[in-house]
Structure 1
């Protein structure tokens, strides 16, 4: 039988990333947290946490985290059914993973009223749409928006639609760098803007369309959605931008589609555990229906 205080200490470290912060959260000393985690590791015969800044879970730790979060979710569901509220407050916390572009465009406006009505607060984790699925798999979130179609055991997946991305640049940038057209030699010398190292859309377009590997042209990483678009508006480079985010700028000519043939439609899916709370059921329905109206 797992010891509840030891599991509580492990969960705290897993969620806040350090023994010091976990101690503050639990109102005990960091050494007490460490002793409880060590006792749990000894009982299970597995190292659960790699000590560092921040602490990192081992594979065994991720498996335990997934189990404990499921257990906590089931407890919340039971209390919700019996008492009409969660054990900690009248609000119900749901952990979600989303790609940055969905968060910056359609997600929050779509779920605003549901969050109010169902008294839901969110713990949002942001990652590339190709990686959010891992956060669900490791038990860090209850549901995720992902580009992964394959359904994990114990989960359900529903298609949301497609986000369209276009290769855009400012009018001034086009006049300066692409006055003679877009071609392989020009692209080798022209600065690009890429969201982060996980964002492979830009590199895939240039490799497939022009035979240019990523190391053959200059680029900047700007890992913030608003700043990313702003950088392109300011003429710092050209890049792949979600159409939803910049439709007015396309219509008024501030931004120009420099590679119409290279637009990408990225399919998105909503993955969640089969056993979930009433609140997450309602949120799931809202997200799926809203996405069908907004996405392609």
Structure 2
């Protein structure tokens, strides 16, 4: 049998990204957290954490974290079903990985009714939609929104819809950098890229027959991304949902008339995640398509 005090210490270190914050979260000393991790590793005969900054789970550590995530959710079901079990006075927390563009557009109205009905609070872990599944694989989250369809072993994925992106810039930027009418100007004009995993601008250029390196700013913020566009610093792929007002006013316009890019989004969740995760899955299936392209 596992000692769940030890597993809780492991989960806290990974979720809180360090021993200090894990100790605060569990109301223990940092020394106590360290001792619990060492005891867990001694009983297993192998490490569960890589002492990096922040600490990273080993392969065995990831398996244990996935187990802890599911046990927490199943325990909640038991607390409501078995007489005499004392339910926690604190609201249930779900850790969800999703991309910043979803968080800044459709996610909040989609999950708000569920959180209100079930008294759930959410820990949001931001990750690019192309690689968000790695957080779930690492055992850091109970579910994730990402662009990958294939689920992990022991998990399921469900199609939510697609986010439509358009290549936009300010009229002033277009006049300065793209006024010749040649699409090859897009390779020379500065672009805005969310981060190193963001390939949307690359895909857009490829759809126009343009390949190779291009100048770009990096901006890991959805709101900042739009602000940079409005400030004439570059062109970039933006969710249509996010800039409806700017498109209507003419503050942002399409740069080259190329096709929009629809990025499919999938909801990944553990099969044995309990009724709470199942309810969230049903709620998202019903509500997300009000905002996403299907």
The CA deviation at 1:53 is 2.6
1:234 to 231, 234, 249: 231
The CA deviation at 1:135 is 1.8
Match of 2:289 in 1: 292
TM-score w.r.t. length of structure 2: 0.92
1:218 to 215, 218, 221: 215
The CA deviation at 1:140 is 1.7
Q: Secondary structure at the match of 2:208?
A: helix
Match of 1:141 in 2: 141
Match of 2:151 in 1: 151
Structure 2: 5+ residue stretches without partners:
none
Match of 1:108 in 2: 108
Structure 1: 5+ residue stretches without partners:
none
Match of 1:246 in 2: 243
The CA deviation at 1:156 is 2.1
Match of 2:69 in 1: 69
Aligned-partner Cα distance in 2 for 1:102–1:27: 33
Aligned-partner Cα distance in 2 for 1:21–1:286: 32
The CA deviation at 1:90 is 4.8
Quick check: 122-131 or 286-295, which moved more?
286-295
Task: Tell whether the 8 Å contact from 1:76 to 1:86 is kept in structure 2 after alignment.
Answer: no
Distance change in 2, residues 1:101/1:84 (3 Å): farther
The CA deviation at 1:154 is 2.0
Task: Tell whether the 8 Å contact from 1:22 to 1:33 is kept in structure 2 after alignment.
Answer: yes
The CA deviation at 1:144 is 1.5
CA displacement 1:115-167 (0-9 Å, x = unmatched): 11211110111111111122222322222211111122222222111111111
TM-score w.r.t. length of structure 1: 0.91
Residue correspondence of structure 1 range 1-296 to structure 2 within 5 A: 1-82=1-82, 87-184=87-184, 186-214=185-213, 217-296=214-293
Aligned-partner Cα distance in 2 for 1:3–1:280: 24
Aligned-partner Cα distance in 1 for 2:15–2:253: 43
Aligned-partner Cα distance in 1 for 2:201–2:84: 48
The CA deviation at 1:11 is 2.1
Aligned-partner Cα distance in 2 for 1:84–1:176: 71
Aligned-partner Cα distance in 2 for 1:282–1:9: 28
Distance change in 2, residues 1:92/1:27 (3 Å): closer
Aligned-partner Cα distance in 2 for 1:86–1:254: 56
Task: Tell whether the 8 Å contact from 1:90 to 1:119 is kept in structure 2 after alignment.
Answer: no
Q: Secondary structure at the match of 2:211?
A: coil
Aligned-partner Cα distance in 1 for 2:274–2:77: 5
Task: Tell whether the 8 Å contact from 1:207 to 1:213 is kept in structure 2 after alignment.
Answer: no
Task: Tell whether the 8 Å contact from 1:86 to 1:92 is kept in structure 2 after alignment.
Answer: no
CA displacement 1:162-190 (0-9 Å, x = unmatched): 11111100011111111111422x23331
Task: Tell whether the 8 Å contact from 2:142 to 2:270 is kept in structure 1 after alignment.
Answer: yes
Q: Give the structure with the higher percent helix.
A: 1
Task: Tell whether the 8 Å contact from 1:166 to 1:243 is kept in structure 2 after alignment.
Answer: yes
Quick check: 41-50 or 52-61, which moved more?
52-61
The CA deviation at 1:58 is 1.4
